[in-house]
Amino acid sequence: MLLAAAGTAGSVGGYDRAQLATFVWVAQGLLAVILLWGWTDLADRIRTGDVAGDLLRPVHPVTSYLATDLGRAGYAVLARFLPPLLVGPLFFDVYLPTRWSTLPLFGVSVVTALVLCFGCRYLVNTTAYWLQDVRGPMILWTLGSGVLAGLYFPLRFLPEPLQLSLWLGTPFPSLLQTPLDVLVERDSPITQLGLVALQLCWAVLILAACRLVQRRAERRLVVQGG
């Protein structure tokens, strides 16, 4: 569909056909690495009361769950990210970076996106401290993150004022759109650095919010049955 959108002109939204093909294949691999959806481990432990055991450990829950998520992502890189990178070029003309700085910057961007996505998922899960049933927040997160992170279409297809509003006002573009734009070299090196710096800022803010919400939740935690 994206290649069709490029039409006979061969480009759309500042992406050529090879960049669009790379965008799609790498996005499918990154989806499992950053784990945009499907994580309810913390919410399940809050609902059952098992989270009380987490609070007795010497490591802060945010740090503990983040370390676990980083280990999971490391396995996903091998099992889920590399296969699309190998299969995609067999069927499509893909874009290969031309700048020496792109791959290191892409690596930093992916790790930052992973940490940021974990923080967002953690916040969604912590709503269980107040709601018990997190299906509502999870549905909102699933619907919103897929569209606003650039999974279904590049956010550069949107009007520029809306793009700026999403990038500066929400963390969603930093989850997926930014790493992909860095890899396909959609922007100049200076702009790429700016996007990754914005990612880092969002990651710091969201992790700080996780700790704040966790501290407030512990003040009102009621263990099931007690």
- 222 vs 21, residue with greater confidence: 21
What gap in Å lies between CA 128 and CA 78, rounded to an integer? 32
Contact assessment for residue 97 and residue 183, using Cβ atoms and an 8 Å cutoff? yes
User: Quick one: pLDDT at residue 48?
Assistant: 86
User: Quick one: pLDDT at residue 119?
Assistant: 96
User: Quick one: pLDDT at residue 180?
Assistant: 96
CA angle 186, 189, 195 (to 5 degrees): 75
The predicted model gives 154-173 an average pLDDT of 93
For 47-90, write each residue's pLDDT tens digit: 888 888 888 888 999 999 999 999 999 999 999 999 988 888 88
